[in-house]
Amino acid sequence: MSLGGGKGGVGKTFLSSNLSAVLARSGKRVVAIDTDLEGANLHTWLGVAPPARSLADYVAGRETDVQGLPVETPIPGLKLITGTHGHLSMPQPDAETRARLLADLRGLNCDVVLIDCGAGAHPATVDYFLAGDDALIVLHPEPTSIENGYSFLRAAFYRRMELVMRKGDVRSLVREAMDQRNALGIRTPHDLLREVEAMDPEEGRRFREEMGGFRPRIVVNEVASAEDVKLGFQVRMVCRRFFGMDAEYTGYVNRDEAVREAVNLRRPVTDIRPQSDAAVYVRRIARKLLEAMP
């Protein structure tokens, strides 16, 4: 599964660390991976010192086997691939390396791989996000996060469509649509669907199918009011209407001082303050994710 959201500081890494801890504590063998090579800090949330080997070694070609990357964490059943020691002038791998990485991750000997994505909508970040069978988009109840969240979803949507379209001309149409000011007047996923259908009915059918299959989950972090809680339902409605996506509103977490306390101790809040609001909310989300797992 993957956690993304476009904006930095919305709680992707907080949720990645805590969800992976809860999943591990519930008996799953989990590998969490920090793909934020420019701002890696998942290891800190989990109390792991920067290890000798990291994802950056794989990207730089110093390590060719993903199997060799996971290191132990203080939490039994949870291993971690850190994103530390990145190459500063070449922070993200090329598309080919990425594809190999994501395929290799599926070969890891564990039940769940949890991918923590960085901020922004860089193609690499989008690919990591799309790699999840379950993809969580983390939002804050504020306009900046909502705005970045939608641009991220839009990028993810177009990228996913580009990957599944088979005909070259349809693929280049999708690529062209990614430019928000494209000359074809394609402004929304719906416009694009119409164009694709007009161009090639068979691809159009595939497009529709794929649209229905893309079901990201919404999590609203740092809620402070009932209005904030409702925001998730509203975003789901907007996604359905404008992106044709059947997103699911999986949960919310309130703003809780216990989170800061936990990160200062470099331990999951679900471990040090299991009765805190944040811990209860994280467990509720984890439970929904567990229900959806095979």
Ligand X SMILES: Nc1ncnc2c1ncn2[C@@H]1O[C@H](COP(=O)(O)OP(=O)(O)O)[C@@H](O)[C@H]1O
Adjacent-strand bridge partners of 3: 116, 136
Residue numbers 174-233 binding other proteins by CB under 8 A: 187-190, 193, 208, 211, 223, 225-227, 229-231, 233
CB of 165 to ligand X, least distance (A): 31
* 14 contacts ligand X (rule: CB under 6 A): yes
CB of 73 to other proteins, least distance (A): 24
Half-sphere exposure of 220 (CA within 13 A, CB side): 22
46 interface partner picked from ligand X, Mg ion, other proteins, none, CB below 5 to 8 A per type:
none
Which one of the spans 48-56, 60-68, 239-247, 253-261 is the region binding ligand X (CB under 6 A)?
Answer: 253-261
Q: Which of 127, 129, 116 is nearest to 10 (CA)?
A: 116
d(CA 25, CA 7): 29
d(CA 238, CA 218): 12
Q: Please give the torsion angle defined by the CA atoms of residues 50, 1, 274 and 257, in that order, rounded to the nearest 10 degrees.
A: 70
**How many residues interact with other proteins (rule CB under 8 A)?**
45
CB of 146 to ligand X, least distance (A): 14
Q: Which of 203, 198, 146, 139 is nearest to 171 (CA)?
A: 203
Contact residues toward other proteins (CB under 8 A) are 141-143, 146-147, 150-151, 187-190, 193, 208, 211, 223, 225-227, 229-231, 233-238, 240-242, 244, 246, 248-249, 251-252, 254, 275-277, 280-281, 283-284, 287
